[in-house]
Chains A and B, each alone.
Chain A
Amino acid sequence: MTMRLPSILRRLLAHPRGMIPTLYVPTIIVLCGLGPWLLPFGELHVDLYHRFLPPLGNGHLLGTDEIGRDVLSRVLMGGRVSLLVGLVSTAISTLIGTTVGIVAGYHAGLARFLITTVIDAVLCFPVVFLLLTLAAVLHPGIGTIIGIITLVSWMEVARVAQSQTRIVRRQDYVTAVVAMGAGDAQVLFREILPNILPAIIVSATLNIARAILLESYVSYLGYGIQPPDASWGNLLNNAQEYLESDPWLAIIPGAVIVLTVVMFNLLGDALRDAIDPSRRSS
């Protein structure tokens, strides 16, 4: 499982199922990052004379919402928040998960038992209930959302890191390095970490998809990002009221969420296949 970037990239781009998400993910990140400077309408610009414009109406590519704000601008601004939440919470939870997983995988004994028990437990818990309780109790904001999503999503990475560490730890060359008197730190950083990294990256990519989805749930239900700030979830917050007359207000932000989450999931799958071509997963 050696990781050489050029060859992995080549394999990723060889198949449409790898190429499309590999191109989409940077594009959406750049678009949301630059979006507000590209568009003529501010995302908070209220225009009561042009409420509920359908897509393509009066220069608004995706129409306007219930107080005349440009939907495309709102979607791009919302994307900043949603992607930020997805990326940052995944970065933190990957760091935590990897550390915890390696510790549990490297040393057998009580630590492993406790950690794996806790991981299994939280994994089988209906996470959304816990997430909402936390979100309702704490002060709402981006930081809070990132914090609670991190809290409920480090376990998946930890589980992967744990099992991978155990596999690598048993390899002959690692046993040899240990027998030659290498210290724990050396074994961990020089032998184990580089070898489990591919699996961690795959798991992290899938985690981003999940984090974006979780944010959308919490914000849709009104406990996440608070208006007037936009996020992909809270754009749908009162869209149900206007479903009959102005369905695009619900359909467009949702479609962007689905597209992005699908792409991150496809990217994770494609990465897995590109890193380890011997297993074509379903």
Chain B
Amino acid sequence: MGNGNLLYVLRLGGVKILLLLLVSITGFTLLHLAPGDPLSQFTLAPGMTAERLAQIAHGMGLDQPLWRQYLHWLHGIMTGDWGRSFRDQSPVLGIIVSHLTATIELGLAALGISFSLGLGMGLMGALRAGRTVDDVTSVISIILFSLPTFWLGLVFIYIFSVRLQWFPTGNFSSPGDRSIVGYLRHLALPALTLGLVSVPVWSRYMRTFAGEILKQDQIRTARALGLSSGRIIVHRLLRGALLPMIPVAGIYLPTLLSGALVTETVFSWPGIGRLFLDSLQYRDYPVVMGVLMFSAILVLVSSTLAELLHHVADPRLRA
């Protein structure tokens, strides 16, 4: 056992690290070939001379060849120095971390909504396979899958904020209101938006996995013997279907991050998605690169963990 597993982990990890390097090289090259120079913010400053500009460029390392800039940057990434924002000179990693909480809170709330709804819909579809309920849940999941996140957000704002005035149109909190209720009211619409669009990720897999288990003999036998009430079937289904769902979590995170990017923009939610877009607009390359790398690391680490967990949890995979 031990040797094979070690090899498996090494290969898994090695490939992911190579990928991360690939992503970083691509992103770095791209952003530096982009129009719009980070120096342009200084050129119009009063009393600016070519010499002073060259000094600033030197200070920022912009006069070095690209590959040296990359290596320097990569070294920084690994030692925790992710560079400084062109906008206000504060450290990139700090900026990302300070925006992370908002995204995590939004993400967890959305995860709760999408996981419970997705599980429920998938189970219902599998238990009533081929009947109306199955058709309805699968059409619902296709519709949710086809919704542009930003549009769903706009519709929710229109219905629940403009018309019904139940929830605020956006932002983290209202000025002067620091209560938990106020916070939850701000969280509700973005979480619902992001949660609903990611329901199909769970529901489709749940439908498939639960459907496969239902075809297996143990449940058919149990049913035939009259042993299983509805609750026992659901219990068995959940136990059997949740195992193969573990790697789905690896698929879910990128969906969640991409969705958060748009949701945060629509609802002015101060997370890393909105940070990314703002930085892109200001050509704040270090921050753009930072968020790109951060999300890549997050996704690769979590998908690796999911794969490992699945490997450990499912003995059939351990050859």
Say if the beta carbon of A209 comes within 8 Å of chain B.
yes
The A208-232 residues at the B interface (CB cut-off 8 A) are 209, 213, 216-217, 220-221, 223
The B138-162 residues at the A interface (CB cut-off 8 A) are 138-139, 142-143, 145-151, 154-155, 157-158, 162
Contacts of A209 in B (CB 8 A): 146
**In the complex where A217-B262, A236-B150, A247-B158 touch, is A126 in contact with B33 (Cβ < 8 A)?**
no
Per-residue interface assignment for chain A, residues 133 to 144, with 1 indicating a CB less than 8 Å from any chain B CB and 0 otherwise? 110110000000
With A and B bound together, what is the CA distance between A213 and B149 in angstroms? 10
Contacts of B143 in A (CB 8 A): 258, 262
With A and B bound together, what is the CA distance between A133 and B289 in angstroms? 9
Per-residue interface assignment for chain B, residues 200 to 212, with 1 indicating a CB less than 8 Å from any chain A CB and 0 otherwise? 0000100110010
Contacts of B134 in A (CB 8 A): 282
For this complex, into which size category does the number of interface residues on chain A fall? 35 or more
Contacts of B300 in A (CB 8 A): 124
With A and B bound together, what is the CA distance between A282 and B118 in angstroms? 13
A250 and B151 within 8 A (CB): yes
Say if the beta carbon of B4 comes within 8 Å of chain A.
no
B150 and A269 within 8 A (CB): no
Say if the beta carbon of A110 comes within 8 Å of chain B.
no
A244 and B291 within 8 A (CB): no
Most chain B CB atoms below 10 A, which of A129, A236, A250, A269: A129
Contacts of B265 in A (CB 8 A): 221
A124 and B250 within 8 A (CB): yes
Say if the beta carbon of A36 comes within 8 Å of chain B.
no
Contacts of A189 in B (CB 8 A): none
Say if the beta carbon of A117 comes within 8 Å of chain B.
yes
A136 and B151 within 8 A (CB): no
Binds A, one of B22-30, B40-48, B65-73, B309-317: B22-30
With A and B bound together, what is the CA distance between A233 and B22 in angstroms? 31
**Nearest CB on B from A10, distance (A):** 21
Contacts of B251 in A (CB 8 A): 124
A125 and B254 within 8 A (CB): yes
B154 and A124 within 8 A (CB): no
Say if the beta carbon of B214 comes within 8 Å of chain A.
no
Say if the beta carbon of A30 comes within 8 Å of chain B.
no
Query: Residues of B with Cβ closer than 8 Å to A?
Result: 15, 18-19, 22-23, 27, 30-31, 33-35, 125, 130, 134-135, 138-139, 142-143, 145-151, 154-155, 157-158, 162, 204, 207-208, 211, 250-251, 254, 257-258, 261-262, 265-266, 276-277, 280-281, 288, 291-292, 295-296, 299-300, 303
- A-B contact list, 19 entries, CB within 8 Å: A121-B15, A121-B19, A124-B300, A126-B254, A126-B261, A126-B296, A127-B254, A129-B276, A129-B292, A136-B34, A221-B265, A244-B162, A247-B162, A250-B155, A251-B155, A254-B151, A254-B154, A254-B155, A282-B211
Closest 6 CB pairs of A and B: A254-B151, A261-B146, A128-B258, A137-B34, A126-B257, A121-B19
